[in-house]
Structure 1
Amino acid sequence: MADSNFIDYVKFCSRSGAGGAGSVHFRREKHVPKGGPDGGDGGRGGHIILRGSSQLWTLLHLKYKKHVIAESGKGGEGGRRTGADGKDVILEVPLGTVAKDAETGEKRFEITEDGQEVILTSGGRGGLGNDHFKTATNQAPHFAQPGEPGIEEWIILELKLLADVGLVGFPNAGKSTLLSSISAARPEIGDYPFTTLVPNLGVVGYRDDKSFVMADIPGIIEGAAEGKGLGIRFLRHIERNSILLFMIPADATSVQEQYRILLGELEKYNPELLDKKRILAISKADMLDEQLMKEMELEIPKDIPHVFISSVSQYNLDKLKDLIWQAIHAE
């Protein structure tokens, strides 16, 4: 995913079609000079619909759509003919897209399956023709129902990446290097903060042709939940991951302190994130000897499985994949 092509937030005006008006019409045929009412109903206004697509990874195609407008329904006609429905507008979105009301911030729904369709903004109902209003005392009603107006509202779409494993760590923890080492993904890698400016997905091959999906999330810094650094823009991508892989480099001043800060930022953003399974990887372990590893293990939190790894030398990467696979499939 190139930086310019990854869009995970769009806001637009969604306007559904108005319903068509019911018809005021009377049957007029040869030898039937006073036929009864036969006005047809108006057609339904077009809906705005979201459809999930597993072929999409970004909301880029919707970035410049500021107004999405559906057709209005056509009016009814004589002979009890119903007007044509307005054409629906179908917007394809990646799996993991959340629709929200832009004014209230209220979540409407989430698209999680390929082909799943949900009406975002409903079209107005068509009005009833005068045929519906005849009674014993009024056998020639000269009125019909107007169609319902369409709905105009501002909508926000947010994308949360769907991945089995989300990488969590400070900038320069080695997340991008790990992803490029164990998958075909090729994220930008550098020795300066925030090299990763967009999330990257990689499919990691495992034994017997099995695989799982890993997401490299841009680095978290202390205060990210309050908007510092890259802020909370990318924290939402972690919400969809079933496992969180914490990465702390071997040259960190304190593994325990970094882990505490990372947990704190996740908790401030969304306390439910702490219920997810966690694994701790101490990266850049090629600079450690066995004695240093034993000393570092004394300060590693006891409530989390851990492994020392080196993406450069491939040290313990198979062991890490084993831990991840077991965590994904544990009951």
Structure 2
Amino acid sequence: MRLLIVTDAWHPQVNGVVRTLDTVAREAAAAGHTVGVISPDLFRSIPMPGYGEIRLALVPRRRLARMIEHFAPDAIHIATEGPLGWAARRYCLKRGLPFTTAYHTRFPEYVKARFGVPLPITYAIVRRFHRPSRALMVATRTLHGELAARGFGNLRAWSRGVDLERFTPGPKDLLPDLPRPIFTYVGRLAVEKNIDAFLALDLPGSKLVVGDGPEMARLKAAYPGVHFAGARHGDDLVAHFRAGDVFVFPSKTDTFGLVMLEALACGLPVAAYPVPGPQDVLGPGVGVMDEDLGAACRRALALDPAACRAYALDFTWAATTAQFVGNIAPFEQDWPARGLPAPRHAARIPHQPAEFNRRR
């Protein structure tokens, strides 16, 4: 089918949402579907307050409508609750078109952490956004239960995967000057990630932080003994995973925690709090969850790296994509606008360039 994904999170952002959507789009295209993506870089945009690297589309409604009609999808998935997500939702409701959504981010908790907005207010807005969705996809059973208790409906499971060919165990010779053991954090440096809880710990060896974000300058000033590697990508990122001995996941607000799977695939045991996300992802022998994060870090040193790798092998992107496609709600009628002339900016088809070029 022709599947259109509308998302406020896309490249050049580096986060679990973008990695998930990009990989699922590739896997779906490989399975024979035509996948289009509408994202903020196709519109005039402004930086999101507090997250300058995240762009928010300005007044996207009319151009978005033209892009949707030009792509002529068989199904629409609205991935995020940002300006593009709301505009796509309005478009579908006005025309009686079914659509699906996903709960990637604990948006109410993030808004409370950064701006102090009470949770009931933000949850009411987010609940309204997802109410018409034919399937609200969630990554874990814990999140399913939480959202159901808050009045969300049409919940469907959509797990996550890891690139098992890229994220593999390997040599630990990247940072020879750092005393071992090396406790590693990989991810955004933002207040909701609770990174201070890790960096303030009294642990043996070294602490390694890989990533960038609005908290970078403050954290570097507050913890001069920590090695900050900045943002890393591709094989360089994998090498930094491999360099560690334990992966530390201090967040209490993530819906899943894709980086935990990447760490496990590289043979790193995980230390985390016993909260949703780690409780759903980690299994016996591959992670330690404790309210005392320092104790979890020290105990994780005794876990077997080979067991971590073996555990990660069950999380494939092919299975994740099949689950996603199974949740999609195709239109019952044929699309009425096929053959329209291309708008100034068409929805990209990043994984089928020949089709994209023909339609432009």
TM-score of the two chains, using structure 2 as the length reference: 0.26
Q: Which has the higher strand share?
A: 1
TM-score (normalised: structure 1): 0.27
Structure number having the greater helix percentage:
2
From the CA coordinates, give the structure whose radius of gyration is larger.
Answer: 1
